[in-house]
């Protein structure tokens, strides 16, 4: 999902931070949502985007729902997104900063900084030609001891990417990307941890208010 001030609902500009937070909290009570996402910004965050991030932080504190973000390409706002959410009282291990495979850097500096702070980083646009750049970055992070902070997903966003339309399908993370990591030397144990244990830990959530049956 692309998200920016242009694609946020128009009323975001006139709603206060508190009003947005209350709407998000209400949504968590009425819809069976399991995560707030993708909360997005472009590289230079606008005032409205910062307001939404503060509101999401508040909504998290009220609900416990984890947060998945969207960064623009190449993810320049990643650290600022984490700063705002942490300032709002969100623990880093409840946050995935998304699309950081787009931030191509052999030294994975921003990715390391985010992992060190305890948040997850999303490598969620793989399974295609960009893998040649993403595989070494993931391997560098595994070697640096950050396997527990990696979150993979497919970021499928249109019907053309689905298998029945001759796309790579939802499973491309598992069927295309993971085998490339294995070939690069990642162990089955590490890959299982990333694919199974990390999302389970991230998504585990005891809602603050019991859900209606």
What is the Cα–Cα distance from 213 to 199, expressed in whole angstroms? 25
Nearer to Zn ion by Cβ, of 172 and 186: the residue is: 172
Supply the minimum distance, in Å, between the C-beta of residue 177 and Zn ion. 17
Query: With contact defined as beta carbons under 8 Å apart, do 13 and 46 qualify?
Result: no
Supply the minimum distance, in Å, between the C-beta of residue 106 and Zn ion. 24
Nearer to Zn ion by Cβ, of 75 and 169: the residue is: 75
Residues of span 18-47 touching Zn ion by CB under 5 A: 38
Supply the minimum distance, in Å, between the C-beta of residue 65 and Zn ion. 18
Nearer to Zn ion by Cβ, of 49 and 186: the residue is: 49
Query: With contact defined as beta carbons under 8 Å apart, do 158 and 108 qualify?
Result: no
Nearer to Zn ion by Cβ, of 38 and 131: the residue is: 38
Residues of span 171-210 touching Zn ion by CB under 5 A: none
Question: Residue 67 pairs with which residues in a beta bridge?
Answer: 36, 95
H/E run at residue 189 = helix 188-192
Residue 146 token pair:
């950050």
Residues of span 56-75 touching Zn ion by CB under 5 A: 70
Residue 31 token pair:
């819809």
What is the Cα–Cα distance from 4 to 2, expressed in whole angstroms? 7
Binding site for Zn ion (CB under 5 A): 38, 70
């Amino acid at each position: 999902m692309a998200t920016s001030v242009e694609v946020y609902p128009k009323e975001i500009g006139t709603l206060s931070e508190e009003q947005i937070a209350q709407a998000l909290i209400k949504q968590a009570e009425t819809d069976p949502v399991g995560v707030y996402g993708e909360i997005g910004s472009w590289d230079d965050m606008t005032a409205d985007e910062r307001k939404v991030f503060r509101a999401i932080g508040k909504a998290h504190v009220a609900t416990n729902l984890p947060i998945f973000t969207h960064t623009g390409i190449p993810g320049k706002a990643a650290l600022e997104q984490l700063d705002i959410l942490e300032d709002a009282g969100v623990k880093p291990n409840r946050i995935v900063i998304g699309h950081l495979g787009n931030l191509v850097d052999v030294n994975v500096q921003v990715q390391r900084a985010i992992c060190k702070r305890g948040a997850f980083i999303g490598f969620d646009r793989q399974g295609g030609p960009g893998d040649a750049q993403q595989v070494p970055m993931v391997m560098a992070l595994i070697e640096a001891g950050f396997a527990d902070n990696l979150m993979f997903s497919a970021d499928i966003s249109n019907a053309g990417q689905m298998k029945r339309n001759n796309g790579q399908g939802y499973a491309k993370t598992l069927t295309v990307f993971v085998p490339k990591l294995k070939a690069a030397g990642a162990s089955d144990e590490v890959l299982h941890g990333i694919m199974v244990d990390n999302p389970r830990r991230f998504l585990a959530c005891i809602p603050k208010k019991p859900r209606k049956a």
